[in-house]
């Protein structure tokens, strides 16, 4: 039998495992919400610990906490920040919509650990979870603040660096492939020539734009609801508390956190989180397009487009020997699909701002932080395992250009649209190239045809076939 102890809250006593640092409210929530097994992620717990630590320090400075007790709370909160106490954060994401259960989980864990540090027994209230650890706070301002902090830190310190690395790798390929002319495609059909490097410059630009959108979205996350307490009025908190705590959090993270300009908006609505999720979704859409293009351009090796040669990172089939697949691109597009789904859940969560409080914050927290993690890790692996090792099959690219009926586009200014269309039709019906049919028709001297049908000028602004 596992040893237990008795703890109590306002509803009565609860039995708690003897080794657990959490208390009665956490134990009660543990019984109420055995739903998914999904717990709050490490970045959120770190942010929660940071808030509790800074709150204790500020309450000490304001003369609201005894020094010995405040120092013990700060030391216990540091263990939350570093992850040493993660095993004691046991609650499901699907719980009370304010996240009160998890805020109390943190309060109880920190209070009991602080009591241990003071040589006192767990549950003895030498350090009280509400009166001391939660002093000047409410779940209603702590949970959204922790959500903002965790998301902003992860976007700025993990996701954006990963995207910068991808942008740089794509930019390098744009330079490396700039001399290779391939056929363009619109509507999945042949179009006029393009340089392979130009395609990759477009991919690099997509990532660059995604980074800027994420940076803009972080501006909303930098506003913290802390100090609003229950409904945004700031009841039961010192007037200087929020500004001081947030200043400390900004110093710790080196990010521009600031107190919300309107606490009623900050606690009743989660528009900044919805906006951040929208930027993540936009990023996912961009990465999906890039990964999908690359896997299609690498299809083959003999019976597909075959313009790119993707790094072979693992065997591709359990039945077809020698087969390799674009697995890194597939992993990335699956991650992107999940992020798009997460955005739908976050959007629905944003609709649940009822009167003075949003009541779907745990769900939004989970989906937001998971989206950031997925995009960061998947894009990193795609960069390392796919983009860096990409090669181009120049001969294949140039062969497809010459075979393309869209080459006739350059002739249109010289011979007119209708005659050019007739050449394309004859080339298709005969199986010959546009060049072969044009020479056969003798519409222009061969020297003019060769000049006009040179694919390189077609990849730049200008009119190769202009009369005269």
**3-class DSSP assignment, residue 311:** coil
- Pairing outcome for strands 223-224 and 391-392: unpaired
Count the alpha carbons within 13 Å of 387 in the hemisphere toward its beta carbon: 27
| 317 is a catalytic site residue | yes
pLDDT for residue 124 = 87
Q: Is residue 148 within 8 Å of 224, Cβ to Cβ?
A: yes
Q: Is residue 135 within 8 Å of 64, Cβ to Cβ?
A: yes
pLDDT for residue 468 = 45
Q: Which of 104, 137, 127, 90 is nearest to 234 (CA)?
A: 137
Which residue's structure tokens are 């490097």?
197
The b/e string for 337-366 (b: 16+ C-beta within 10 A; e otherwise) is ebbbebbebbbebbeebeeebbbbbbbbbb
Q: Is residue 375 within 8 Å of 367, Cβ to Cβ?
A: no
pLDDT for residue 467 = 54
Q: Is residue 358 within 8 Å of 269, Cβ to Cβ?
A: yes
The sign of the dihedral angle between the CA atoms of 45, 51, 55, 58 is positive
Measured distance CA(446)–CA(345) in Å, rounded:
62
| Lookup: tokens for 25 | 């409210």
The alpha carbon of 234 is separated from its chain's Cα centroid by a whole number of angstroms, namely: 33
Q: Is residue 48 within 8 Å of 137, Cβ to Cβ?
A: no
- The CA-CA-CA angle for residues 353, 157, 332, to 5°, reads 80
Instruction: Judge: domain 19-135, CATH 3.30.420.280.
Output: no
pLDDT for residue 1 = 58
147-227+268-394 CATH pick, 3.40.50.1000, 1.20.200.10, 1.10.240.10, 3.40.50.1970: 1.20.200.10
- The CA-CA-CA angle for residues 290, 292, 297, to 5°, reads 95
pLDDT for residue 464 = 78
Active-site residue identified among 187, 201, 268, 430 = 187
Kindly list the distances between the CA atom of residue 197 and the CA atoms of 176, 203, 207, 397, in Å, as whole numbers in the listed order. 7, 10, 15, 12
Instruction: Spell out the domain ranges in the chain.
Output: 19-135, 147-227+268-394, 404-458
| Lookup: tokens for 30 | 């543990």
The alpha carbon of 216 is separated from its chain's Cα centroid by a whole number of angstroms, namely: 14
| Lookup: tokens for 35 | 């739903």
Q: Is residue 132 within 8 Å of 111, Cβ to Cβ?
A: yes
Measured distance CA(456)–CA(310) in Å, rounded:
25
DSSP 406-439: GGGGGGHHHH-HHHHHHHHHHHHHHT--HHHHHH
Question: 404-458 has which CATH code?
Answer: 1.10.40.30
pLDDT for residue 123 = 86
pLDDT for residue 2 = 85
Q: Residue 61 phi/psi, 5° resolution?
A: -60, -35
| 187 is a catalytic site residue | yes
| Lookup: tokens for 98 | 């304010």
Q: Is residue 372 within 8 Å of 158, Cβ to Cβ?
A: yes
Active-site residue identified among 101, 317, 399, 404 = 317
Measured distance CA(401)–CA(110) in Å, rounded:
67
The number of residues in the chain equals 468
| Lookup: tokens for 439 | 């020479």
70 Cβ neighbours under 8 A, 6+ residues apart: 56, 57, 59, 60
Measured distance CA(79)–CA(49) in Å, rounded:
8
**Is 251 buried (19+), middle (13-18) or exposed (0-12) by CB count in 10 A?**
exposed
Q: Is residue 342 within 8 Å of 371, Cβ to Cβ?
A: yes
pLDDT values of the chain reduced to their tens digit, one per residue, 468 residues: 589 999 999 999 999 999 999 999 999 999 999 999 999 999 999 999 999 999 999 999 999 999 999 999 999 999 999 999 999 999 999 999 999 999 999 999 999 999 999 999 998 899 999 999 999 999 999 999 999 999 999 999 999 999 999 999 999 999 999 999 999 999 999 999 999 999 999 999 999 999 999 999 999 999 999 999 999 999 999 999 999 999 999 999 999 999 999 999 999 999 999 999 999 999 999 999 999 999 999 999 999 999 999 999 999 999 999 999 999 999 999 999 999 999 999 999 999 999 999 999 999 999 999 999 999 999 999 999 999 999 999 999 999 999 999 999 999 999 999 999 999 999 999 999 999 999 999 989 999 999 999 999 999 999 976 754
Taking the model in full, what pTM does it have? 0.96
Measured distance CA(74)–CA(122) in Å, rounded:
17
């Amino acid at each position: 039998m596992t040893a237990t102890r008795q703890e109590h809250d306002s509803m009565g006593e609860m039995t708690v495992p003897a080794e657990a640092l959490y208390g009665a409210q956490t134990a009660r929530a543990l019984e109420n919400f055995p739903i998914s097994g999904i717990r709050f992620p490490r970045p959120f717990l770190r942010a929660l610990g940071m808030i509790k630590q800074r709150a204790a320090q500020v309450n000490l400075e304001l003369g609201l906490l005894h020094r010995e007790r405040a120092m013990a709370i700060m030391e216990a909160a540091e263990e939350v920040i570093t992850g040493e106490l993660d095993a004691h954060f046991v609650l499901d994401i699907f719980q009370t919509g304010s996240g009160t259960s998890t805020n109390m989980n943190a309060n109880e864990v920190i209070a009991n650990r602080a009591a241990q540090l003071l040589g006192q027994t767990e549950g003895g209230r030498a350090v009280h979870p509400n009166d001391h650890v939660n002093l000047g706070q409410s779940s209603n301002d702590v949970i959204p603040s922790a959500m903002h902090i965790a998301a902003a830190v992860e976007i700025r310190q993990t996701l954006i660096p990963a995207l910068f690395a991808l942008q740089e790798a794509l930019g390098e390929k744009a330079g490396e492939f700039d001399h290779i002319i391939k056929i363009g495609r619109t509507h999945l059909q042949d179009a006029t020539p393009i340089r392979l490097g130009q395609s990759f410059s477009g991919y690099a630009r997509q990532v660059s734009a995604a980074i800027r959108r994420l940076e803009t979205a972080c501006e909303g996350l930098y506003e913290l609801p802390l100090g609003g307490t229950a409904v945004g009025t700031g009841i039961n908190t010192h007037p200087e508390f929020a500004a001081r705590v947030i200043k400390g959090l900004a110093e710790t993270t080196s990010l521009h956190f600031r107190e919300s300009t309107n606490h009623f908006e900050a606690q009743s609505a989660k528009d900044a989180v919805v906006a951040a999720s929208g930027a993540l979704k936009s990023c996912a859409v961009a990465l999906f397009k890039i990964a999908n293009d690359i896997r299609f351009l690498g299809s083959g090796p003999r019976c597909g487009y075959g313009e790119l040669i993707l790094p072979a990172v693992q065997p591709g089939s359990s039945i077809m020997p020698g087969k390799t697949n674009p697995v890194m691109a597939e992993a990335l597009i699956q991650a992107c699909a999940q992020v798009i789904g997460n955005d739908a859940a976050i959007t629905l969560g944003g609709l649940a701002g009822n009167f003075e409080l949003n009541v779907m914050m745990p769900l939004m927290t989970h989906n937001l932080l998971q989206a950031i993690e997925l995009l960061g890790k998947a894009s990193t692996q795609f960069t390392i395992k796919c983009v860096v090792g990409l090669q181009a099959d120049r001969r294949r690219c140039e062969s497809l250009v010459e075979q393309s009926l869209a080459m006739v586009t350059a002739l249109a200014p010289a011979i007119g649209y209708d005659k050019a269309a007739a050449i394309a039709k004859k080339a298709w019906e005969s199986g010959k190239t546009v060049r072969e049919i044009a020479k056969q028709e003798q519409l222009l001297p061969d020297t003019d045809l060769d000049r006009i049908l040179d694919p390189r000028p077609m990849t730049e602004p200008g009119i190769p076939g202009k009369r005269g």
